[in-house]
Amino acid sequence: MKKVKWGIIGCGDVTEIKSGPAFNRVRDSELVAVMRRDTAKAKDYAERHLVPKWYDNAENLINDSDVNAIYIATPPSSHCAYTHLAAKAGKPVYVEKPMAANYYECLSMIDICEKHKVPLFVAYYRRVLPLFLKVKELVEKGSIGKILQTNIKLHLVPNSADYNKENLPWRLKPEIAGAGYFYDLASHQFDYLDFLCGSIEEVSGNASNLGGLYKVEDNVTASWKFSSGILGTGSWNFVSTKKNVCDEIEIIGDKGKIIFPTFIRDPIKLITVKGNVEIISEWPKHIQEPLIKLVVEELLGKGTCPSSGLSGARTNWVLDKILNKI
């Protein structure tokens, strides 16, 4: 492979700015085809983004000889099936997060890609964004000493669409999303902690629906232990009041702590005995571009991508354990 020629399955909102344009911005990478079940929307996306081909059938895109790598940008419930089709066609897979609707589907995706000897990557792009790399740098150079604990707090007000019981967002439909907002948002947080602190070996949690806007969980608490012995706790509330909104991950060491957001664009707070420092980091316009660059480099034998099927599956395992799905 001298150039990675991408086909997107599911050219929806996430591909408009976050990912889609990045495939043409990365060296030796090109977006050559897109697919959406709605033919008119597939055609519209292709025309607006100057993509040569569009399809309303995933198998036709996968079997297009001009396409040699597949980006699966559909909701989690179809990730496993499309990964199987792509792997059987011998084409590498870059799949949206969470990796699948449950941990066992992740294992199936890993198995089929190993069987057909195709790489499998997951779109956990925070592993290579400047803010999160800076946090990792601060930890590794000992800015807060030895890590003792990790704490997550994500409290958000409901979205306006959450009140529409007749037409809820797909992220609140477990048959499509795997669970609720926790599955979609906490996946980023746990994947990053996996990158920062290593794998979690023990985890438990409780989930409840307290707001009554929909059927899936809207409040979750959890505790965990990394293989290194580092401990962690978390609290997620998706029916919060505005005054209680919070987006923080806290890394506590024996010489200080680091507090940083996952989703909002606030600075990193480094707190030590020497004082408090705020560190501002840039966010790229196309937020997946740094990770896509590394995916392309690995496919061309020029580098390594830090987000694989194996790491993505570990995150699904943590989520499923917290929600008592396994």
Cα separation, 90 vs 116, whole angstroms: 6
CATH number, domain of 237, equals: 3.30.360.10
pTM recorded for the entire structure: 0.96
263 plus 216 within the same structural domain = yes
pLDDT in tens, the chain (326 residues): 899 999 999 999 999 999 999 999 999 999 999 999 999 999 999 999 999 999 999 999 999 999 999 999 999 999 999 999 999 999 999 999 999 999 999 999 999 999 999 999 999 999 999 999 999 999 999 999 999 999 999 999 999 999 999 999 999 999 999 999 999 999 999 999 999 999 999 999 999 999 999 999 999 999 999 999 999 999 999 999 999 999 999 999 999 999 999 999 999 999 999 899 999 999 999 999 999 999 999 999 999 999 999 999 999 999 999 999 99
Extract the tokens encoding 175: 């048959």
Its domain, for residue 86, covers 4-125+287-308
Nearest to 220 by CA among 239, 193, 244: 239
Question: Is 145 found in the same domain as 103?
Answer: no
Indicate the SS3 state at residue 206: strand
User: Both 137 and 119 in a single domain?
Assistant: no
Q: What CATH number is given to the structural domain containing 60?
A: 3.40.50.720
Q: Are 248 and 169 in a shared domain?
A: yes
Distance from C-alpha of 190 to C-alpha of 311, rounded to nearest angstrom:
10
Handedness of CA 36, 37, 41, 47 (dihedral sign): positive
Domain annotation covers residue 315: no
Same domain membership, residue 295 and residue 276: no
**pLDDT value for 1:** 86
Handedness of CA 26, 31, 37, 38 (dihedral sign): positive
Greatest CA separation found in the chain?
60
Looking at residue 238, its pLDDT comes to 98
